[in-house]
Chains A and B, each alone.
Chain A
Amino acid sequence: MNTDVLFAAIDINKLLGTTLRSSINVQSAAFALGAVGLNMHYGFTGLLNVGMVAFMAAGSYGMAMVFTQGFLGGGILMGALFGLIFATVIALLIGIPALRLRGDYLAIVTIAIGEVMRIGFRSDKLLWLTGGPFGLPSIEDRGQGVSLADRVGRDWNPLWDTDNPTKRLGFWELTFDAKTIWLMIIGWTAVFLCSIFIWRLIQSPWGRVVKAIREDEDAARALGKNVFSYKMQSLIIGGVIGAMAGILRTWDTGFVETQQFRPQTTFFIWTVLILGGAASKWGPVIGAFVFWFILTIAEEALRQVVDSGWIPEWFIDSSDVGRVRLIMMGLMLAALMIWRPQGILGKKEEALLDVR
């Protein structure tokens, strides 16, 4: 039980490879995209949206319903468009009751809507539409060639090589299959474009009003600005970007189910945003990369160490490793908020907003 054993237990190449792979993977891009949307809400407008999953679920389910049920012709792109419209409707539904109230009400209503949607999609009564607890495309559909994963990763993918379907692209430990590479390109491009778009918006007159609302709502109102309307626009823009994150994630996993939309997903996105720096241009991107890097390296190292028997089993056994990740996420979120609320890239004076 000395440190030699500990180091022998860790395979550095594999550790770094796994970590970097997950840091730039599609899931990381999806969280970055979600954080870009949340940055619009929280970072720039000061809206306390703790129900980002509601928008992600709207995007994912909207897309998957159109795809599997064949509404509106049923393509993937038509589905994605429908998902974004669905997210807009959800934004209106949240905004109309909650945006006129104090910030903490918005927090409660958003988390509530997220849960209502999750429970609703899960209901047996909607089995025909959302697959209930089985998700979409539901288990039977997946076997019958209605495969979302194939449509995205094969029919749609310029990198797909029919002669060599298991071809892996990349170098060193960083190799991915064709579908993942394709989605990574889409995902990170979307992150890049959305970041630029939001940044341009924020530097426009519209953006200055939104930031003024964040700093002092009453002052903005006294200048004759329609605060409610600006907040609503911000909620919709951020929500649509959140829906894109959901769609991207669903393209990657190949199906949606309600377990993907538990409230903790929202809090992952919050941690990504706070870590990178709220109200900064590239904060969400850096945040997503660093967040996945820290989480994966810690989890992977812990797993390897636990498997080697270096940590006593009563303390943590191998089935607990996934839970330790969530504890770390909680600690990270709390510690950042206490000691470095501006994150990696943010400015301190912009990060300390108080909506009460």
Chain B
Amino acid sequence: MCVRGKARGGSASRQTALVVMLMLIIGSLFIGMAPAGAQDDVVLRGTLRSGRDPIDAVTLSVVNSAGAEVGTTTTGADGKWEVPINAADTYTITIDEATLPEGIGFKGGNSNVVEREVTELRTFSVGFQLEAVDAQPLVAIDSTTTRVLNRVASGIKVGLLVALASVGLSLIYGVTGLVNFAHSEMVTFGAVIAFGIEALMPSVPFPITVLLAVIVGGALGFLLERGLFRPLRKRKMNNISLMIVSIGLAFVLRYAIVIYFRAEPVGYKHYLIQTGTKIGPISLPMKDWVIIVVAFVLLLAVGLLLQKTRLGTAMRAVADNPPLAQSSGINVDSTILAVWIAGSALAAAGGIFLGLTQVVEWQMGEKMLLLIFAAVTLGGLGTAYGAMVGGLVIGLASEVITLHPWVDSNLKFGVALLVLILVLLVRPQGILGVRERFG
């Protein structure tokens, strides 16, 4: 319902980037809906069962990647156990086999040791494959369908974030022809600014912090266009030279962030830890659900801006043919400026949300840059909707592919990019791009 209300708001307004800003404001307020579930301790937990019967009085120990013991526990009468953890790490959970009851053993090929990679600080469950030695094997803890659905959900989340970050790059490319390598730094910048505002003014509600950081992110776009790229365009510098300038700019921004922010990853104090909230069979932290909704609403707002407002029409016209747009009375320079502001504000929003689901660190944009490029190229360079579609495809592909035992969490980026190369072979203009003859 809220989504429809916004849609009307977007179509009613006549012009200007205020629409975008308004959308961002309202959109960001959604975050306020998420309960800060930080009360719960973060634990590794699980239930030991043989078939349907819980197994009690079994001792488990948890050791972190440095080899230090994090905790030892014993299962209760319901077979449940949990061990508190306080860092993202790879934990090794070992069952003391001597404490297993008679007649209970591990299913074929499984051992009493399980490794669990905790990628973000929230509660994870750990499963052991136990069975009565003579019994028929019964279902595993999570069914395959549930695992697939959960992967798809987190793929949609990642995809929406990539889409959010990519739209700006694609729009900027569309109106100026510049492949902006510093776009990833705008993503980092938004996340870092939000962290700074939160640290300076801890009492400010987080949605307001997000909003302020998004505005600062838009201001960076304004500065870069007015202070750097517009003067260079007026000097008739070509796009390749400008691309190389943006590479240099990316380095300056990135390492300035390391020096004046910090080198080690941090998380936002709000919403640091949340346990999973189930909707249907899918379990994601509440903040992730909110992020999915807000990101979706923002992308919808961008679509409406492009289709229904004069500014959006101007943007599309400039992207299509700048001289023609100019001669039709469109102010090309201010349209490009609006694209820069909106694009970098969206990148900043993407960065903040990424920081919320993972961590805030100086390399977060750099790590994401390739996904962004892949999304933009996949969808078709220069098309905003293409970037959205491409982002979703890349996000989904890279998350769902990790279901395959061969693909670890590092390799998934590589797989996503290989997909990109294959697409270029078959449909070089991208999913939504217009075919143009070349070579």
Contact = CB atoms under 8 A, between A and B. Distances in A.
Contacts of B243: 48, 104, 107
Interface in B242-280: 243-245, 247-252, 254-256, 258-259
Given A105-B377, A125-B406, A338-B245, A329 B251 contact: yes
Contacts of A98: 424
Contacts of B239: 104, 354, 356
Interface in A299-338: 316, 320, 323-324, 326-327, 329-335, 337-338
Nearest to B418: A116
Interface string B355-381: 000000000001000100110010001
B370 A101 contact: no
Contact of A48 (B240, B256, B374): B240
A352 B421 CA distance: 29
B89 to A, nearest CB: 16
A286 interface: no
A228 B244 contact: no
Nearest to A112: B417
A129 interface: no
A228 B439 contact: yes
Contact of B251 (A228, A327, A353): A327
A116 B243 CA distance: 22
B406 to A, nearest CB: 7
A333 B244 contact: yes
Contacts of B249: 330, 334
Given A102-B438, A103-B240, A334-B252, A111 B408 contact: no
Contacts of B248: 267, 329-335, 337
A324 B256 CA distance: 8
Interface in B191-249: 232, 235, 237-241, 243-245, 247-249
Interface in A90-112: 96-105, 107-109, 111-112
A177 interface: no
A355 B238 CA distance: 9
Nearest to A117: B414
Given A109-B424, A112-B370, A326 B244 contact: no
A299 to B, nearest CB: 13
Contacts of B418: 116
Contact of B424 (A97, A320, A331, A341): A97
Nearest to A217: B439
A270 interface: yes
B244 A264 contact: no
Contact of B255 (A48, A324, A353, A354): A324
Interface string A213-242: 000010001000001100000000000000
Contacts of A337: 237, 241, 244-245, 248
Q: Is the interface of A mostly helix, strand, loop or mixed?
A: helix
B408 A124 contact: yes
A196 to B, nearest CB: 27
B248 to A, nearest CB: 3
Contacts of A323: 255, 258-259
B439 A99 contact: yes
A97 B422 CA distance: 8
B143 interface: no
Interface residues of B, number: 45
A96 B422 CA distance: 11
Contact of A105 (B258, B414, B424): B424
A183 interface: no
B323 to A, nearest CB: 15
A115 B428 contact: no
A332 B244 CA distance: 11
B425 interface: yes
A48 B247 CA distance: 13
B413 interface: yes
A232 to B, nearest CB: 11
B179 interface: yes
B144 interface: no
B259 A107 contact: no
Nearest to A98: B424
B239 to A, nearest CB: 6
Nearest to B428: A101
Contacts of B439: 99-101, 217, 221, 227-228
B255 A104 contact: no
Contacts of A274: 244
Contact of A270 (B244, B414, B417, B421): B244
Interface of A: 48, 50, 96-105, 107-109, 111-113, 115-116, 119-120, 122-125, 217, 221, 227-228, 263-264, 267, 270, 274, 316, 320, 323-324, 326-327, 329-335, 337-338, 341, 352-356
The 9 A-B residue pairs with the shortest CB-CB distance, nearest first, are: A330-B251, A334-B248, A354-B238, A333-B248, A330-B252, A330-B248, A100-B439, A116-B414, A323-B255
Given A112-B420, A337-B241, 10 more contacts: A107-B179, A119-B411, A267-B251, A323-B259, A324-B255, A327-B252, A330-B248, A334-B248, A338-B237, A356-B238
17 contacts: A101-B424, A104-B179, A105-B377, A111-B370, A112-B421, A116-B413, A125-B406, A227-B439, A323-B255, A326-B251, A331-B252, A334-B252, A337-B244, A338-B237, A341-B241, A354-B239, A354-B240
